[in-house]
Structure 1
Amino acid sequence: MIKPVYIGLPTDNTDHLLYSERVPAAALYHLALAEANYWQSDRFSVLEQYYDAPDAFICLADIHADEPVEVPISCTLSDLYWLYQLNGGYRIHLADETRQIVLQTEETSYTQIYVPQGQYITRFDKGKHQLFYFVIKPNWLQRQGRRAMEGFNHLLDSQRAQRQEAQHNQFCPLHDKVYKLLLSLFTLPKVKRFHYDILIYEHCFSLLDLSQEDLKRNRTSTSKDNDLLTHIRNYITEQIPKGNLVSVADIAAFFKVNYRSLRRQHYQTYGYSLGEFIQHKRMEQAADFLINTDMPIKEIAYFLGYTVNTSFDQRFKRYYGVSPTAYRLSNLKPRSAK
């Protein structure tokens, strides 16, 4: 199948970034019969090992970062991915000016995500990160029968509709069964490619089967929580344009829920924190004010709860890549002649 994810780092060796198609000897795991891409600089290294079967694609990636690093990626297929975060974690942002968070992974957990075609940015904090993912063709899924389809229907419906936003199921813990099955992938024998393809399909289906069991287990206990989260997110969306300052603690008190449970439920459901959702809505509102009003930037910052203008400037630039002043100037609407 088509390689679903391309890392947007240069493959021609430069002074600051070396590239190779060989797996370094120090790599912890070696995926049999796999192709590899390896980038190394004085600040970070990225290694991906991948195997492409006709109906499935598997990939193991290792990232070592001495400081926070952003790696551009492009998704060539609108497809369904199973993501397993073995160590560390990362965030996926849209590569456009909104910098909207698509997913934030959680260490030693996994999820299933529908990702549309497009350009993205993955941000890794300082440290060691290791992740595994696989993609299978939808018709392969359908050939396995209804048992394999349960739990992924809404994601597959999104795929059929070619929706433009990413969606994912809840995060599930990497328990022993899943972890052992993942590790066994890296000890598969070097057999003929046809037989190796069959082994890959068996492993992918077993992982899919386990994820279905975990989803069923989680779904029964979280349906009510999801309804509450929807109400909370709608409440936040309504309050911020009114200038009402909302925090996670205030929301927990208003809806009479436990503060820590609320944070955990939102993260498990959406893949990023409720505080980040609030910040994102504030930035959206700030952008709207900058384009459609003449409010001074200091007043916008104060209206949205930023008491120090520099903190607002820094936050806005992190989201949109430019300062509030530059954003307003670049989106200045021509005035009609009188």
Structure 2
Amino acid sequence: MLPAIQVADDHARVRDEATLAAIRTECRYQLPGAIPDVWKRPDWQVVEQAFDLPDVYVSYIEVRTYAASTCIPIQCPRYDLYWLYLVRGAMDITTPDTRKALVTTTEKHYRVSYLPAGRYACSFGEGTHHIFYVVHKPKALFREESPELGMEATVISAVKTRLAVHAASYELSMQDGSAASILRFLRAPGNTYLRRSQSIMHLSLELVFIAHQTLLGHAEGKAIGAEWAEQLKAYINRCILEGTPITADSVAEQFRISAVYARRLFKTHHGETIGSYITRQKLELAVQLLQEGDPPVRVARYLGWTPAHFSRAYRAKFGHPPSQRHL
């Protein structure tokens, strides 16, 4: 199997065995039995150590960059699904002209990503970057339906249909257990072929299960967040109808959460701030009360506003003061 991600710069490839061996000794982790490959330019160096098993391809890559912004051309020869981990550093996979970022991954985070066959670029900042990725070969990945591969339907359907555009999961923290599993393997991959094969298969499947649980928890957390946001909204509506003073801080206090979290939760699920929603709902109630014959001063008092503030807010919303509601 060809590497799932290849550096698309054949002139930069190091072919001298002695030089290749010397560069490899500089790596943070040296993996016995791995297939080594090195590419070197004045402003960057890439060292890959890979394992190609019948069912899975596993690669550990160390990238060193010597400029503030470095782009390395790459190509993907097949339509593959990647479990892509940034053990150290950060990386953007972009279009070949680097104008559009496709998959951004930061230090100690990962994504389950689908990249169709084609050319791309990897963009790095200055420094050292450690990348670990796993590709399960299609004959193994889709041997039968597995609920663990239902973790990100968009990504899975993309690879199954060989979609022409990329797809990726949320950026996930490696603190979910994947960091410990990967580091354990890098430190002791096994001294014999059989032990390495056992370690690689165990690791590759363990990472699938970890990602499944993390994405499942993310989805459940999102659903819980949406439910909470609806409860916040219902509480605000009730307070406004009852004439009870209401602010973002009082909402947060009612639900025993921080005001910062309450604001973020509401904005995420309702698309506007708590403050703007309160103002809008109060003004909608004001229209109803004015139509029922309540004078502006009484309406302002009911909404918890001064008459002057009510007049300004009403004029800003409707273009005329509340006293001219019938015009």
TM class by shorter chain equals: 0.5 to 0.7
Query: How many residues align structurally?
Result: 228
TM value normalised by structure 2? 0.63
Distance 1:74 1:13 in 2: 14
> Which position in structure 2 is the counterpart of 1:69?
70
Q: Compute the displacement of 1:115 (Å).
A: 0.6
Partner of 2:256: none
Q: Does 1:86 align with 2:59?
A: no
Write the distance in 1 (CA, Å) between the matches of 2:190 and 2:55: 20
Counterpart in the other structure of 1:48: 48
Q: Does 1:256 align with 2:272?
A: yes
TM-score, normalised to structure 1, is 0.61
Cα drift, residue 41 of structure 1: 4.0
The 1:43–1:66 alpha-carbon spacing in structure 2 relative to 1, beyond 3 Å, is same
Alpha-carbon spacing, 1:256–1:172, altered in 2? closer, same or farther (3 Å): same
Q: Is the 8 A contact 2:111 2:172 kept in 1?
A: yes
Cα 1:32/1:220, change in 2 over 3 Å: same
Q: Distance in 2 between matches of 1:213 and 1:36?
A: 33
Retained in 1: the 8 A contact 2:190–2:199? no
1:102 match:
102
| Cα distance in 2, alignment partners of residues 12 and 75 from structure 1 | 18
Distance change (3 Å), C-alpha of 1:130 and 1:5: same
Offset at residue 43 of structure 1 (A): 2.4
Alignment of 1:1-338 (within 5 A): 1-11=1-11, 20=20, 23-67=23-67, 68-95=69-96, 99-143=99-143, 146-175=146-175, 177-186=177-186, 187-192=188-193, 194=194, 196-222=196-222, 255-257=271-273
1:96-120 Cα shifts (integer Å, max 9, x gaps)? 5x83221111111111001100000
Q: CA deviation at 1:176?
A: 6.1
8 Å Cα contact 2:63/2:129 also seen in 1: yes
* Mapped contact 1:44–1:65 kept (Cα < 8 A): yes
Q: Distance in 1 between matches of 2:30 and 2:55?
A: 22
Deviation at 1:225, TM superposition (A): 8.2
> Identity percentage over the alignment?
21
Cα distance, 1:134–1:13 mapped onto 2, change above 3 Å: closer
> Unaligned regions of 5+ residues in structure 2, if any?
227-266, 275-327
Which structure has the greater CA radius of gyration? 2
Q: Distance in 2 between matches of 1:223 and 1:104?
A: 25
Runs of at least 5 residues in structure 1 that lack an aligned partner in the other structure: 227-251, 259-338
Which amino acid in structure 2 is aligned with residue 47 of structure 1? V
Q: Which amino acid is 1:131 matched to?
A: I
Aligned twin of 1:277 = none
Q: Cα offset for 1:171?
A: 1.2
Gap change, CA 1:133 and 1:13, over 3 Å in 2: closer
Q: Residue deviations 1:259-301, cap 9 Å, x none? A: xxxxxxxxxxxxxxxxxxxxxxxxxxxxxxxxxxxxxxxxxxx
What is the root-mean-square deviation of aligned Cα atoms in Å? 2.9
Alignment match, 1:240? none
Contact kept in structure 1, 2:116 and 2:165, CA below 8 Å: yes
C-alpha distance in 1 between matches for 2:76 and 2:211: 23
1:257 to partner: Cα distance: 4.4
